[in-house]
Structure 1
Amino acid sequence: MVEHSAATRVVNLQPALHELVTVLAAPVTALSATSGDITGEGATGVFAADLRVLSRSLLTVDGRSPEPVAHHLDGAHCVEFLGVCRGLGDPGPDPTVWLRRRRTALRDGLREEILVENVGAGMLEILLELEFAADLAPIETVKLGGAGPAGEHETGFRVDAGIAVAELADVRIRIRAEGNAEATADMLRWSLQIPSRATASVGWTLTVQDPGAVMGPATRLGLQNPVVVADDARLGRIVARSVADLTALAAATVEAPADTVLTAGSPWYLTLFGRDSLWSARMTLPLGLGPARGTLRTLAARQGTRVDPRTAEQPGKILHELRRSAFQAVDAFLPPVYYGTVDATPLWICLLRDAWKWGLTSAEVRPLLDPLERALGWIRDHGDADGDGFLEYVDEAGGLTNQGWKDSGDSVRFADGTIATGPVALAEVQGYSYEAMLAGAELLAAFGRPGAVEWRRRAADLRANFRAHFWTEDELGPFPVLALDGAKRKVDSPASNMGHLLGTGILDPDEAAVIAARLVHPSMNSGFGLRTMSTTAGGYSPLSYHCGTVWPHDTAIAILGLVREGCTEQAAELARGLLTAADAFDGRLPELFGGFGIDDTPAPVPYPASCRPQAWAAAASVVLLQAFLGLTADVPAGTVTLTPAPLIGGFSVDGLEIAGQPWSVRVDRSGVAEASPLAGIEIRGL
């Protein structure tokens, strides 16, 4: 029998996030223990985009750490920690000295206010100390469980005119004390005298200057903050928390600070991601055009121009990921500008059409028509390498093995659990491609450009080919398979990918009804949301990243598709589950959580390494609003349509936006709607 040491078993594990407290104001995010302390262990730290700029922040009172009692978030950017200082103040079991630590994430750093309260009978004399350090660890190193460039030793600070300063290459970190403090290279010290029934307040500020960063603060957001009042009170709470998180996740590239994008998620993905940013912008269109406008422009500026297998770049292709340096994952090496995605290009086209429908002006659309034609050209000339009519991908240079939204290496599996080999043609990508072809044709025709007839013909051919090649049957009946593998075999695991086909137009009504029934079957519906893979599949595990967990955005996309297909009962069932899950996570839906069923666990089980907040998870609440309203917009045609269904009782929304106009809607318990007027737009369905 071979024995393995504990040390051998735990080397370089990805740090857990689910018990950490996160505040952020992109591109800055701070993660700590529930005490507020940042130890540098695991993922704790203050990160500025892709660097950990503070790896230690330990607070003591007379040499002892306050005992944590509570913490609460105030929006997405601020948290207050409360700890008691036992052993100080009056004798007896009740604490008479406690400490509040209020942390606020800033777009260029972080500020912390520390309040010590003395309700004891006498004067309190204490030494308050804050120990700090920075390791400038790249985010991918932290994600892999490693340390910074100095190994176990943090980058040293020096004191300059009372300010602690650390520098490495071009990165400059400054820590400034507030109050009468002594500063050393690793410590701030305050000697405090606090009378009875009094409070002392001190603080400190961290600022970061990083000329090598690729992401920075956005100068404008363009996203409304709606107020939702509903019979189901959870809906309003969840929307409020989600919009706060979306606002905090907003950033921009340093070259175009006015073009807002929604970064993917904290802490691993606080940067531009093609697919994630596109979906997040698309899902938040009812709140404004800012993220859509910025995402379209930012990605168009980086659209592929050449064939480069190392970066997966191809002419017309939309990128996957932007970093300051190469990203070393567990099983992949990604260049700083990486194009390894099969779905971002059709999704870019769909977002352009949708943004136009929601009010993006002709003057804003016209500069994007050339990138549109190049994106359509990529679908025709590069996305279908073998000419079988389907978009597919294969990694050629050690990047991502799988290049759809389920991009882990084991995500595409046959029903027996066998992992498929490429080139892989994913089911949902064909739906995106079909919708993109028709969306592109609509835009080309509307703006007087040639090609609409060709793209409508190609779309019709794809629809027929999809029906002929992507359907199979199991003991529960027919369903679209997950994918076709490199040998054109059907990868026959029932998976949530089929939900993304709803509403794209690639299905007929009978096919949509079949998928609707499958999605709410107990094998797929956990009661908290839609599992990524059916429990009947050989590769299923409730804690597998893409083979059995629940991703809120995935469920939300299916819900919106179900409403568009007229399958409102199934949409309501999934929506209720997602509301239950969101409430269990205090309104801040994580990137993903365990696929355990509601009959198995009374509350959703966290996935330990899940990002939280995550942009498209937060945007899921906006999708729920749109689904409950049955809301569609066609501003070029001068119409907005409401087809609310009585899914969750009555509710009102103040703070939607159509074509730049604020808008309010109320729906009663029977599904009858009232809405404020929109200048120049007819509201149908009232």
Structure 2
Amino acid sequence: MKDLVSILDGNTFLVSDTRGDVEPSLDFPTGLFSFDTRHLSTWLLTLDGERLHALSVDTAESFRTRFFLVPGEPTHYLDAKVSVIRSRAIGGSFEEELTLLNHSGEEAEFVVRLDMAADFADLFEIKHVRSKQGHTTATVGDNELRLAYRREGFHRETVITTTSPAHVEVSGMTYRIRVAPRGEWTTRLHVSTVVYGARGEDVRANLPQYGGSRDPGAIRAEQDDLVARAPKLGCDCQPLAGAYRQSLNDLAALRYESITLGVRLVAAGLPWFMTLFGRDSIITSLQLLPFLPELISPTIMMLAGLQGHRIDDFRDEEPGKILHELRYGETAGFEEQPHSPYYGSADSTPLFVILLDEYERWTGDDRLVRALEAQARAALAWIDTYGDLLGTGYLWYQTRNPDTGLQNQCWKDSWDAISYRDGRLPGFPRATCELQGYAYDAKVRGARMARTIWGDPAYADRLEREAAELKMRFNRDFWIPEREYYALALDADGRQVDALTSNIGHLLWSGIVDESRAGRIAEHLLGPRLYSGWGVRTLADDQGRYNPVGYHVGTVWPFDNSIIAWGLWRYGFRREAGQICDAMLAASRFFGGRLPEAFAGYERSLTDYPVEYPTACSPQAWSAGTPLLLLRVMLGLEPQGEHLVIDPAVPEGMGRVELLDIPGRWGHVDALGRSRTPHDHPRG
């Protein structure tokens, strides 16, 4: 996304090139999108038939931007007689103000043209090109262009109006203008995206975020209010300060109003994932919990409300299972994709139990835990029934839907992410190692909730016994003695899928690793095969499928590293956890403080900067949450009953780190940490 510019407000966002133009592209989804449908596929400005070029782009705010443009190729010797400013904002709808400035001493005539089109493509149709099944119409009115799409009951519209007289055609609007010497001309364009329901009404009309245009000042105030409620960070480390500020701003921008339940949620990431995801939303919530805990309960309730209750092969749905992804577009509506919702992840369900427990430990909100007891029990039951496909006591996955279901249903869900050391791919079902860690942690946490909140000590005893048995079994079957690390997975025959991956760091976070083996795992994670200098790679560089720019086979994922740092901290490896924190924050400087979804796994000594992954989502929620979790790790924040334990271990050279007004069941407390000299660092 390096050469693209995006603005967003909730689930409505626009992605353009650096001139502000939108053209259909197979490389990346440019356009105006709302709830998984592209409402503008062409938005192209010309002046006297000529494309414009950007002198500068102002992208300081997430919901509005300005482009400063001139005709012709920009050079150091350019002496433009005319320039154009495109000021745009998104607030429920999209608005653009065009201002043309005549810099000459003579009156001049200009032809300003905006080509416009809406293909109403579903996001899945952009990823996998296919022809539309419905019918598109265009209606020309007085300074208005109305573009509509219908396919049976699926109805979307894009309505474009202009404040200045224009010649309106089905392909766009043309302005023939005269501008005085040193004068200017301005028009304002308003673009409404309409999502019609079964009764012919705009289903978003009663949602505050979509009930018409929102004033940019109101959006700014809302985002500022959210950021102001977070703990205040004071530190000597500028990368940390910048990343913290950017993360809070991005998480505020990614909030959207659910079209179904009317609650505010955090979308997973722009542009592909502007919706609720089980795994992403849960991990983001875990990262965010010590900072803005009030944002978490809507996500928990939404996931609980959409919990699986039947067997549906098409959607990979099973009783007790937590969803993977919820979509609102045409392909989901007509069941060409199973995302209404889709349940194809094996980790969302144990992670749901983990989040519910962690939420109560931080907030003391036992009412929510009591209210969702049935859902939590159903999730725990799923682990031992539908999740244990082979009856071996492990959590396995294999899609019920071979046509459109996901093959890999762990967080590394691309087709080639799970492999043997030599690069071969195992068959299905598969039991990846981190899934067993999540299942173990879910049982331990479920036992705590059963004993202290649900009043069921017998159930708690059973869960604790099952967790202990799982830990013993796992350390027997997944450990590779000759290599001294845990296998990535077991294949259907119970053989070890022996690739060395970052997944072993998630095992530390879950607590399933035997204490005697934790040191060796830490050494692998920070060793030269996995650790690039900027972070832990998803796959070690000597494995058969390693590719430093492969999506899950060699790139560095910030969220992954935040979980690994948390796991190292849990087992007492404070210096190693700090090393990852320091590397992530150093990398963030090269991305303007905004960590992307992923970046390349090249050695730090080879590039001296983290190399961008070309199609990484940015902003992405669990990447935005990464600096927050790193702060928790560096300050050693851990709830214990009604108190917050603070045990800082700030990496060398980072100086002072001070976090004020940390919210929780204890009220608000402050935490302060300072760098230690090398010999003072505890190793565990």
Contact 1:224 1:287 in 2 (8 A): no
Contact 2:141 2:168 in 1 (8 A): no
Is 1:638 matched up with 2:642?
yes
Q: Which residue of 1 aligns with 2:162?
A: 177
SS at match of 1:242: helix
What amino acid does structure 2 have at the position aligned with 1:136? F
Q: Which residue of 2 aligns with 1:10?
A: none
Contact 1:218 1:251 in 2 (8 A): no
Among 415, 421, 434, the residue aligned to 1:415: 421
Is 1:302 matched up with 2:306?
yes
Is 1:104 matched up with 2:110?
no
Superposed, which structure 2 residues align to 1:537-616 within 5 Å? 537-616=543-622
Is 1:95 matched up with 2:80?
yes
Q: Deviations over 1:575-603 (max 9, x none)?
A: 22212322212222222122111122222
Superposed, which structure 2 residues align to 1:435-514 within 5 Å? 435-450=441-456, 451-474=459-482, 477-514=483-520
Is 1:159 matched up with 2:124?
no
CA shift, 1:287, in A, is 2.1
Contact 1:55 1:133 in 2 (8 A): yes
Contact 1:250 1:263 in 2 (8 A): yes
Is 1:63 matched up with 2:49?
yes
Task: Give, in whole Å, the separation in 1 of the partners of 2:108 and 2:646.
Answer: 63
CA shift, 1:21, in A, is 1.8
What amino acid does structure 2 have at the position aligned with 1:266? L
RMSD over aligned Cα, in angstroms? Answer: 2.7
| C-alpha distance 271-431 of structure 1, shift in aligned 2 (>3 A) | same
Among 242, 245, 250, the residue aligned to 1:245: 250
Task: Give, in whole Å, the separation in 1 of the partners of 2:30 and 2:369.
Answer: 42
SS at match of 1:590: coil
CA shift, 1:97, in A, is 2.9
What amino acid does structure 2 have at the position aligned with 1:320? H
- Name structure 2 gaps, 5 residues minimum: 210-221, 678-684
CA shift, 1:187, in A, is 2.3
Task: Give, in whole Å, the separation in 1 of the partners of 2:294 and 2:203.
Answer: 20
TM-score, normalised to structure 1, is: 0.87
Task: Give, in whole Å, the separation in 2 of the partners of 1:97 and 1:482.
Answer: 60
Number of residue pairs aligned between Structure 1 and Structure 2: 640
| C-alpha distance 590-87 of structure 1, shift in aligned 2 (>3 A) | closer
Task: Give, in whole Å, the separation in 2 of the partners of 1:309 and 1:279.
Answer: 26
What amino acid does structure 1 have at the position aligned with 2:558? P
What amino acid does structure 1 have at the position aligned with 2:250? D
Structure 1 range deviating more: 222-231 or 366-375: 222-231
Is 1:359 matched up with 2:359?
no
What amino acid does structure 2 have at the position aligned with 1:595? G
CA shift, 1:555, in A, is 0.9
What amino acid does structure 1 have at the position aligned with 2:245? A
Structure 1 range deviating more: 235-244 or 372-381: 235-244
Is 1:323 matched up with 2:327?
yes
Among 68, 87, 92, the residue aligned to 1:82: 68
Is 1:187 matched up with 2:172?
yes
CA shift, 1:565, in A, is 2.0
Task: Give, in whole Å, the separation in 2 of the partners of 1:145 and 1:465.
Answer: 46
CA shift, 1:463, in A, is 0.8
SS at match of 2:439: helix
| C-alpha distance 653-117 of structure 1, shift in aligned 2 (>3 A) | farther
Among 262, 265, 268, the residue aligned to 1:261: 265
CA shift, 1:661, in A, is 5.5
Task: Give, in whole Å, the separation in 2 of the partners of 1:67 and 1:513.
Answer: 55
Contact 1:533 1:546 in 2 (8 A): yes
What amino acid does structure 1 have at the position aligned with 2:158? I
| C-alpha distance 243-442 of structure 1, shift in aligned 2 (>3 A) | same
| C-alpha distance 657-424 of structure 1, shift in aligned 2 (>3 A) | same
Contact 1:55 1:134 in 2 (8 A): yes
Superposed, which structure 2 residues align to 1:106-121 within 5 Å? 106=91, 108-121=92-105
Among 128, 136, 143, the residue aligned to 1:144: 128
Q: Which residue of 1 aligns with 2:436?
A: 430
Task: Give, in whole Å, the separation in 1 of the partners of 2:496 and 2:352.
Answer: 27
CA shift, 1:190, in A, is 3.9
Q: Deviations over 1:249-299 (max 9, x none)?
A: 2224322112x3222222222111111111111111122124321111111
Task: Give, in whole Å, the separation in 1 of the partners of 2:85 and 2:596.
Answer: 27
Task: Give, in whole Å, the separation in 2 of the partners of 1:181 and 1:420.
Answer: 61
Q: Which residue of 2 aligns with 1:280?
A: 284
CA shift, 1:481, in A, is 1.1
CA shift, 1:176, in A, is 1.9
CA shift, 1:126, in A, is 2.8
| C-alpha distance 370-56 of structure 1, shift in aligned 2 (>3 A) | same
Q: Which residue of 2 aligns with 1:27?
A: 11
TM-score, normalised to structure 2, is: 0.88
Task: Give, in whole Å, the separation in 2 of the partners of 1:177 and 1:576.
Answer: 50
| C-alpha distance 661-134 of structure 1, shift in aligned 2 (>3 A) | farther
Q: Deviations over 1:659-681 (max 9, x none)?
A: 5956654434459xxxxxxxxxx
Is 1:341 matched up with 2:327?
no
Task: Give, in whole Å, the separation in 1 of the partners of 2:667 and 2:431.
Answer: 41
Contact 1:75 1:241 in 2 (8 A): no
Contact 2:157 2:195 in 1 (8 A): yes
Task: Give, in whole Å, the separation in 2 of the partners of 1:563 and 1:119.
Answer: 61
Task: Give, in whole Å, the separation in 2 of the partners of 1:253 and 1:519.
Answer: 39
Q: Which residue of 2 aligns with 1:14?
A: none
Is 1:126 matched up with 2:101?
no
CA shift, 1:55, in A, is 0.3
Q: Which residue of 1 aligns with 2:235?
A: 230
| C-alpha distance 69-628 of structure 1, shift in aligned 2 (>3 A) | same
| C-alpha distance 41-550 of structure 1, shift in aligned 2 (>3 A) | same
Structure 1 range deviating more: 357-366 or 332-341: 332-341
SS at match of 1:322: coil
Contact 1:176 1:205 in 2 (8 A): yes
SS at match of 2:493: coil
Task: Give, in whole Å, the separation in 2 of the partners of 1:72 and 1:266.
Answer: 19
CA shift, 1:79, in A, is 2.3
Contact 1:394 1:424 in 2 (8 A): yes
Contact 1:215 1:253 in 2 (8 A): no
Is 1:48 matched up with 2:34?
yes
SS at match of 1:295: helix
Structure 1 range deviating more: 170-179 or 297-306: 170-179
SS at match of 1:266: coil
SS at match of 1:560: helix
CA shift, 1:85, in A, is 3.2
Q: Deviations over 1:641-666 (max 9, x none)?
A: 11111212213345643359566544
Structure 1 range deviating more: 495-504 or 354-363: 354-363
Task: Give, in whole Å, the separation in 1 of the partners of 2:447 and 2:204.
Answer: 34
SS at match of 1:454: helix
Q: Deviations over 1:587-631 (max 9, x none)?
A: 222221221111222222222222222111111121122122211
Contact 1:400 1:407 in 2 (8 A): yes
Task: Give, in whole Å, the separation in 2 of the partners of 1:359 and 1:194.
Answer: 61
What amino acid does structure 2 have at the position aligned with 1:512? A
Q: Which residue of 2 aligns with 1:679?
A: none
Task: Give, in whole Å, the separation in 1 of the partners of 2:204 and 2:538.
Answer: 31
CA shift, 1:181, in A, is 4.2
Contact 2:247 2:594 in 1 (8 A): yes
CA shift, 1:312, in A, is 1.6
Amino-acid identity (%): 32
Structure 1 range deviating more: 48-57 or 188-197: 188-197
Task: Give, in whole Å, the separation in 2 of the partners of 1:181 and 1:653.
Answer: 55
